[in-house]
């Protein structure tokens, strides 16, 4: 397990595959991917677990652990959204009503809420590349490599996602 990171911390007698900087990045990707604060520690643990499982299977450590962890965190955020949507649909069917969201009066809160809603409406693939590019600050090349897709596909998804968000923000008259 020491192969994963020479600077890994020791946690409960086991090498921690995420250093403090990587853990903060994973938390940021999860949070910006829409995972609530209360679920962030579980998300970080899931990333840790996947790194440890990879090492236990004898797989080679990722070339860039930080980028790999950000992609895994992004995938976890997408999974969280899918599960949330399933629960919401079930709740809607049972209750027949949906509770309205409460908007804040401050401009920055309105903008943040509009962006979050716009991101929720994006297809998973577009949301994923948007979070990895602009929130995890990964270059297009790294995103393409980590997701196993061509760079042109990443660029296309980014362009579509940004355009869709821009349209949404103008429709909501936020910008």
pLDDT in tens, 61-94: 788 888 999 999 999 998 888 888 777 765 665 5
Give 124-162 pLDDT, tens digit per residue.
899 899 888 888 888 999 999 988 999 999 999 999 999
DSSP helix/strand/coil, 101:
coil
Residues 6+ apart with CB under 8 A from 50: 72
Residues 127 and 112: their CA atoms lie apart, in Å, by: 15
Q: What is the pTM of this model?
A: 0.53
């Amino acid at each position: 397990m020491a192969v994963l990171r020479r600077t890994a911390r020791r946690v409960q007698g086991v090498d921690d595959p995420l250093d403090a900087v990587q853990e903060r990045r994973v938390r940021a990707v999860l949070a910006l991917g829409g995972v609530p604060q209360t679920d962030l520690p579980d998300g970080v643990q899931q990333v840790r677990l996947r790194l440890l499982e990879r090492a236990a299977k004898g797989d080679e450590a990722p070339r860039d652990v930080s980028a790999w962890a950000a992609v895994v965190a992004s995938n976890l955020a997408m999974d969280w959204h899918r599960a949330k949507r399933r629960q919401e649909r079930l709740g809607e069917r049972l209750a027949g009503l949906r509770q309205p969201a409460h908007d804040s009066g401050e401009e920055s809160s309105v903008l943040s809420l509009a962006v979050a809603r716009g991101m929720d409406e994006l297809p998973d693939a577009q949301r994923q590349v948007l979070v990895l590019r602009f929130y995890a600050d990964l270059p297009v090349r790294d995103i393409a490599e980590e997701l196993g897709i061509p760079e042109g596909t990443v660029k296309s998804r980014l362009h579509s996602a940004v355009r869709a968000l821009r349209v949404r923000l103008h429709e909501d008259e936020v910008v």
